[in-house]
Amino acid sequence: MNTKYNTSPFEYNRRITHEVKVGNVGIGGLNPIRIQSMTNADTKDVEATIRQIRELQEVGSELVRLTVPTSQDAEALPIIRKRMKEENLTVPLVADIHFTPSIAMKAVEFVEKVRINPGNFADRKKFAILEYTDKEYKLELERISETFLPLVKRAKELGVAMRIGTNHGSLSDRIMNRFGDTPEGMVESALEFIRIAESIGYKDIIVSMKASNTQIMIQAYRLLIARFLELNMTYPLHLGVTEAGDGKDGRIKSAIGIGSLLDDGLGDTIRVSLTEDPVLEIPVAKIIVEKYNLLHSKNWENLTGKSASSEINSTPIQASEKRNQDSKDSTNSSFKEFRNPFQYSRFYAKEISLNSTKMGEENPIRVEVDCSQLKSNYEKEISELFLKAAPLSILPESLHFTIRNETELNELATLRNKEIVPAAFSFLLQGEMANQIHDQLSQLLAFDKWVSYYPHFGSEEEKEIFLGAISSFHKENKSIEWIIKPSEFSRIPEILEDIQKWLLSNSIFSLESSDLTRDYRKLSSFLSNYDYPISLSSVHGNQEDALYEASIGLGGLLIDGIGDILRISFPCEIFEELSLTYDILQGSRLRLTKTEYISCPSCGRTQFDLQDTTARIKKRTNHLIGVKIAVMGCIVNGPGEMADADFGYVGAAPGKVHLYKGKEIIMKNVPEDIADEKLVELIKNHDMWVEAK
pTM: 0.91
**Beta-strand runs (E) in 150-226:** 161-167, 205-210
Those residues of the chain that have pLDDT short of 50 are 321-331
Asked whether the beta carbons of 501 and 474 are under 8 A apart, the reply is no
Give the separation between CA 519 and CA 489, rounded to whole angstroms: 9
**Beta-strand runs (E) in 438-506:** 449-453, 479-484
658: helix, strand or coil = strand
In this structure, the number of other CB atoms found within 10 A of the CB of residue 125 comes to 15
Q: Is the dihedral of CA 218, 223, 229, 232 positive or negative?
A: negative
- pLDDT for 327 equals 43
DSSP bridge pairs for 202: none
Tell me if 20-307 shares its fold with 365-587: yes
208: helix, strand or coil = strand
**Beta-strand runs (E) in 70-153:** 93-97, 113-116
Q: Is the dihedral of CA 238, 584, 523, 1 positive or negative?
A: negative
Superfamily of domain 20-307: Dihydropteroate synthase-like (3.20.20.20)
Give the separation between CA 288 and CA 35, rounded to whole angstroms: 10
- pLDDT for 434 equals 67
600: helix, strand or coil = coil
Q: Give the relative orientation of helices 281-304 and 247-254 as an angle to the nearest 10 degrees.
A: 20
Every domain of the chain and the residues it spans: 20-307, 365-587, 596-685
Local structure of residue 244 (DSSP, 8 states): B
Distance separating the N- and C-terminal Cα atoms of the chain: 49
Give the separation between CA 49 and CA 604, rounded to whole angstroms: 9
DSSP bridge pairs for 451: 427, 480
- pLDDT for 315 equals 52
Asked whether the beta carbons of 161 and 131 are under 8 A apart, the reply is no
- pLDDT for 639 equals 60
Residues 6 or more apart from 501 whose CB is under 8 A from it?
Answer: none
570: helix, strand or coil = coil
The Cα-based distances of 657 to 507, 634, 640, 680 in angstroms read 54, 9, 16, 14
CA-nearest of 436, 417, 423, 410 to 370 is 423
At 650, give phi and psi (nearest 5°). -125, 130
The Cα-based distances of 290 to 228, 244, 263, 468, 546 in angstroms read 26, 20, 12, 47, 15
**Beta-strand runs (E) in 227-298:** 238-239, 269-271
In this structure, the number of other CB atoms found within 10 A of the CB of residue 675 comes to 24
The Cα-based distances of 521 to 162, 266, 472, 514 in angstroms read 36, 17, 31, 13
Give the separation between CA 187 and CA 221, rounded to whole angstroms: 8
* Topology of domain 365-587, CATH: TIM Barrel (3.20.20)
- CATH placement of domain 596-685: 3.30.413.10
Give the separation between CA 342 and CA 596, rounded to whole angstroms: 24
The Cα-based distances of 58 to 23, 42, 80 in angstroms read 18, 20, 17
Q: 655: alpha, beta or left, given left = phi > 0 and alpha = psi -120 to 50? A: left
> What's the CA angle centered on 580, arms 518 and 552, to 5 degrees?
25
Give the separation between CA 248 and CA 467, rounded to whole angstroms: 44
Amino acid at 358: K
Give the separation between CA 573 and CA 115, rounded to whole angstroms: 44
